[in-house]
Amino acid sequence: MTKRGRVFAGIRCTGRQHLGNYLGAIQNFVALQEEYDCVYSAVDIHTITTPWEPGELRENVWETVLDLLAAGIEPERTILYVQSHVPEVLELAMLLGMITPLGWLTRVTTFKDKVRLHPDHVNYGLVGYPVLMTADIILYKATRVPVGEDQQPHLELAREIARRFNRLFGETFPEPHAKLTEAPVVLGLDGVNKMSKSLDNHIELVATPEETVERVMTAVTDPQRTHRHIPGRPEVCNVYSLHHQFNPDQVEVVYEECTTAKRGCVECKQQLADGINRVLAPFRERRQELAGRPNYVEEVLADGAARARVIAGETMAEVRDKMGLPAAYGH
């Protein structure tokens, strides 16, 4: 039953998700289930467009899926699957590749960034990343994609490719639009960069309460506050920002006590860690329970892939027909 339309989101399989992923994206994916038909994919193939360890990939896919389920993705009403389990997406990406000018792809900023970051890994898959992303979305004729402002150019490219297909072969795909989130950009423990696993400035959702305290204690605060008696500037302190998420009813007190030097940073961080542990306790409990039921998680993914392939199969039959590819003989 269609609700307000279909949403697609791909989640890179970087392993255990962190607070930044949770606040910036996962919470929103969970909320969108109320209003939309959602299709969520653990995008393992996207993950290998940059260097990867084969020995870790499978584990990372699994950890990502556990985090999504524990956070509240409901497989009864949402399709959750692993990207490579729906191979139709690769066929569609290849076919879209025939109508996507190379110049559209090489001008993408993230492509240029990745070329700089991984000069020895500039390959066909990397330049084709936005085509695969387009295929992911339009394979399900999704109309909404939850993205942050920074991903808007990718989505614009997906729209351009969908439009081009429609122009060449007749109206087939709806244009996917951004479902912009109001989620905050979550800074890492360094207080400067976006929270990220690769920068090791993150807190894993699944961290134990003790690990959480330990990590929060390393957070950089107001650099001018070199002594306990010097008033702080909460507006430049990421611990203060995070209190908004995890201790919203304490924000005013934190502000007042920090700016009047009534509280020290250690106690402030302890309070934040307690808030994180409190908010994440139900998540952690569910995750532990799911980790002990691998058969159930496998069933969820098998069922998700099967449901995804039904939609994908219909789309691909239409695409092949419109592009003039001969139907398979003997059917």
The binding site for ligand SF4 (CB under 6 A) comprises 221-222, 225, 232, 234, 237, 239-240, 254, 258, 263, 265, 268-269
Angle at 127 between CA 107 and CA 15, to 5 degrees: 115
Q: Which is nearer to ligand SF4, 210 or 267 (CB)?
A: 267
Minimum distance of ligand SF4 from residue 211's CB (angstroms): 19
Please name every residue paired with 82 in a beta bridge, in sequence order, or none if there are none.
Answer: 42
DSSP per-residue string spanning 79-138? EEEEGGG-THHHHHHHHHHTSS-HHHHHT-HHHHHHHHH-GGG--HHHHTHHHHHHHHHH
Minimum distance of ligand SF4 from residue 113's CB (angstroms): 32
Query: For 295, how many CA atoms within 13 A lie in the half-sphere containing its CB?
Result: 0
Q: Which is nearer to ligand SF4, 105 or 187 (CB)?
A: 187
Query: End-to-end alpha-carbon separation of the chain, Å?
Result: 30
CA separation (Å) from 52 to 14, 16, 56, 114, 224?
10, 15, 8, 14, 40
Minimum distance of ligand SF4 from residue 244's CB (angstroms): 11
Closest CA to 244 of 182, 196, 310: 182
Minimum distance of ligand SF4 from residue 268's CB (angstroms): 3
Minimum distance of ligand SF4 from residue 239's CB (angstroms): 4
Q: Which is nearer to ligand SF4, 14 or 212 (CB)?
A: 212
Q: Which is nearer to ligand SF4, 13 or 258 (CB)?
A: 258
CA separation (Å) from 33 to 21, 51, 190, 303?
17, 33, 33, 18
DSSP label at residue 171: S
Check: CB of residue 88 under 8 Å from CB of residue 311: no
Please state, as a whole number, how many other Cβ atoms lie within 10 Å of the Cβ of residue 31. 13
Task: Provide the token pair at 8.
Answer: 């697609």
- Catalytic residue positions, numbered: 114, 194, 197
Query: For 15, how many CA atoms within 13 A lie in the half-sphere containing its CB?
Result: 14
Minimum distance of ligand SF4 from residue 242's CB (angstroms): 9
Q: Report the C-alpha gap between 264 and 172 in whole angstroms.
A: 60
Q: Which is nearer to ligand SF4, 18 or 225 (CB)?
A: 225
* Number of residues in the chain: 331
Q: Which is nearer to ligand SF4, 46 or 225 (CB)?
A: 225
